[in-house]
Structure 1
């Protein structure tokens, strides 16, 4: 009988609108020239890809692995995900009956009365001297169940599950954000390592040139204006060096926090040379990549949750059926309690309907509909922002790539010029001062090239992040 009632309850209709994903028109091409091809959306497809391995740096791999275990933002997001899981379990509990057991016993004295014994429905009382004493013992089993005739509980479960999926996407988004922050700070730190090395070399050369001009000023072969310019050039390099050293220290502090340790407990040795690997996207990218961005997935799931809440609000307009049952034993003593004469039971349904509530249910329905409309608008806005984000990053990469090529060509030309100056110095036709000046120009050209390489590498991290973790059709396996 109970199984039949469960089947009846679960087969009841569900009021409210069934969810359909809000339509979004994705462009066939990007304004910045990348072709997009249509593909089936797979929201989870890119969330687990280890895109940072494309930079081929074991230290970066280790830092990201450490941040995944110890970063407090990730730990907090994981706790929020567990909370959403518990909320789904709580919603599902509404489909099932509530069953309880009870065992009680009581002994009490009544007022003055006959000294004869009298029996009651709950026990036996006996009295002497005008005082009655009664005993009562009971053991009961009770159950109550409200069949989900209109889908109120099932819509609630639907909403909780969508919120859980949104929380899952938010967790993936936090992980992606932390991974990208680690990669960006690490690559920026390596860029600063090379800046510091090149600026220290420039400082040494500027100091040598200043000493030469000071001697020439004393000899009368250089003017005071030339001396002032040389002093300014040295001071400029010193201030640039201090700025780079400060930025390097702050990047190291940021990495310490990202991997979950105090800055005083973290140290990353400097390097004087670093090979920036520049992973570039393929000429065509599937439009499904945007559909698996964590923020897009989360926004779409919130819209689904809001849609289900409309059904919850509509179900409140319909009557509720409550089935209750209770059975057990009641007697005057524990001995012999579980006998047929002491058996009691009750069974009965209760049907309830709200006739007047001052418009509360209608207001709740309008609120649910407005929340859904708001979440749909937020979802579409999130997609548009994602498109802008990708466009901006592609634009930056395109221009930085062109700049890097130009600076590399300048560096190569200055290498040739410096080699020519050194040859002329050995031949005695060019002074050491001219060679040092050309060497200084060469170092500045190398710095411009290395800086642009670093920015291009960090720009590729931003593109990885804007595409939801990479441009792979299928997630790469984790080692």
Structure 2
């Protein structure tokens, strides 16, 4: 019976040495109270945060623009912010591997040789060569294999691995967040640039018409059929359009410069031809938005993972209160000559455990524990604040899209009415009942109505990009 108990006890001790216990609190995701629906009228469903949900998507392809697709693909490969985030992710991977290395023993080999002169006192038994002065030349050769291991009895290493893995997931989410942010910036700047292309074209048409009207009024002023006040007003209208045109051209150039930097090239090496006939695509969100689209936002996932990492560091700090066990072993051969070194008489070995415990540290370990607990509380507060900020972001973008959509409908109706009025003025001009000046004035009104419509459509398309970003990369469930 005793013979059976011995191997069972040895197995139990070995199991405890290999696995040990884990001190410190186990992680539970912080509770965040989520509303059952958005304030702006879009219902949604409850779901849990999913770290894998921070994966990148290709939401920009719904705009069906090959140029936009190419720009975002280029930015994903060459943007310096994305490259830096990828390097940070690789750094986090290396830190996880470094933490895992603490679970394993350290093994080393050594080969050494020494030659020196010792005292040649009478009666000495040291082997070696005797010099002319009576001293002895001694030489030693050794080959050793050593190993040391500190079993993770209290889970300090495993809590460190847990913290590193959570930090890695946070870094992964940050990388996805940078990709999402850069992609959204490219899409927003590109759509804004196309909106400016349309504005520039319409403003140039308005400038030409205002110039014609000014020429007519100048002639009428000379003839005495128009007043000087009418001339001043016509001049102001032309100057206003010229100033607006310069503003649009400057903004277009700056948007092009920004796109160049986003795709990783110098502005002088980047050019986008104008597209005055651009048509905006505005994907509208569905009536139901699942909450996991919100909780997969990279910033939300990153904040939650940082809280998990901080929780694991509490266990690392608590493990410092317990004793540590070190196991060391060394074996090899040591002799006076390399030849015959591996003979049995030259064999050496040592084996021994060491148990250490800190008795007094001036409160350093308690301070480290309190610091870890405070850091966890801070990260939990940050996570909850990030979720609230995400809710606000989605609400703001839903509100913008709702109002811009209604505004675009109103401007579209105005544009259609002005098209009818312009057609009526042209018909009356052909009949000789309306002057060319009246037709040009109505054409100006039509161009301004079209500009209001196209600008609102551009803002609505850019607003959909912002909603894509606020939901973590789209509203399609992967």
TM-score range, shorter chain: over 0.9
- Aligned partner of 1:309 among 286, 303, 313: 313
- 1:108-155 CA-to-partner distances (Å, cap 9, x unmatched) read 1124534x7623xxx746444222210000000000000000000000
1:26 Cα offset (Å): 1.2
Partner of 2:247: 243
Partner of 1:212: 216
Partner of 2:3: none
Partner of 2:34: 26
Contact 2:76 2:179 in 1 (8 A): yes
- 1:74-98 CA-to-partner distances (Å, cap 9, x unmatched) read 0000000000000000000000000
Matched, 1:420 2:447: no
Contact 2:51 2:169 in 1 (8 A): no
- 1:254-285 CA-to-partner distances (Å, cap 9, x unmatched) read 11111111011001000111110010100001
- 1:304-330 CA-to-partner distances (Å, cap 9, x unmatched) read 000000000000000000000000000
Partner of 1:477: none
Return the alpha-carbon distance in structure 2 between the equivalents of residues 39 and 12 of structure 1.
35
- Aligned partner of 1:35 among 40, 43, 60: 43
Partner of 1:97: 105
- Aligned partner of 1:118 among 120, 125, 136: 125
Return the alpha-carbon distance in structure 2 between the equivalents of residues 320 and 401 of structure 1.
66
Contact 1:45 1:473 in 2 (8 A): no
Return the alpha-carbon distance in structure 2 between the equivalents of residues 286 and 84 of structure 1.
31
1:24 Cα offset (Å): 1.0
Alignment TM-score, normalising by the size of structure 1: 0.96
The size of the alignment, in residue pairs, is 470
- 1:187-228 CA-to-partner distances (Å, cap 9, x unmatched) read 000000000000000000000000000000001111111000
1:6 Cα offset (Å): 6.6
Q: Secondary structure at the match of 1:284?
A: coil
1:39 Cα offset (Å): 3.5
Matched, 1:467 2:471: yes
Q: CA RMSD in A?
A: 1.6
Partner of 1:107: 115
Matched, 1:66 2:74: yes
Distance 1:4 1:259, change over 3 A: farther
Return the alpha-carbon distance in structure 1 between the equivalents of residues 148 and 29 of structure 2.
37
Q: Secondary structure at the match of 1:142?
A: strand
Return the alpha-carbon distance in structure 1 between the equivalents of residues 259 and 140 of structure 2.
70
- Aligned partner of 1:166 among 170, 181, 193: 170
Q: Secondary structure at the match of 2:137?
A: strand
1:287 Cα offset (Å): 1.0
Partner of 2:4: none
- Aligned partner of 1:148 among 135, 149, 152: 152
Partner of 1:270: 274
Partner of 1:388: 392
Alignment TM-score, normalising by the size of structure 2: 0.96
Contact 1:318 1:353 in 2 (8 A): yes
Return the alpha-carbon distance in structure 1 between the equivalents of residues 232 and 446 of structure 2.
23
1:296-375 map, 5 Å: 296-375=300-379
Unaligned runs of 5+ in 2: 1-6
Q: Secondary structure at the match of 1:95?
A: coil
1:299 Cα offset (Å): 0.1
Contact 1:117 1:125 in 2 (8 A): no
Q: Secondary structure at the match of 2:289?
A: strand
- 1:5-59 CA-to-partner distances (Å, cap 9, x unmatched) read 7743332110000000001111111111111122354343363221001101010
Contact 1:194 1:272 in 2 (8 A): yes
Distance 1:3 1:142, change over 3 A: farther
Contact 1:397 1:459 in 2 (8 A): yes
Contact 2:118 2:137 in 1 (8 A): yes
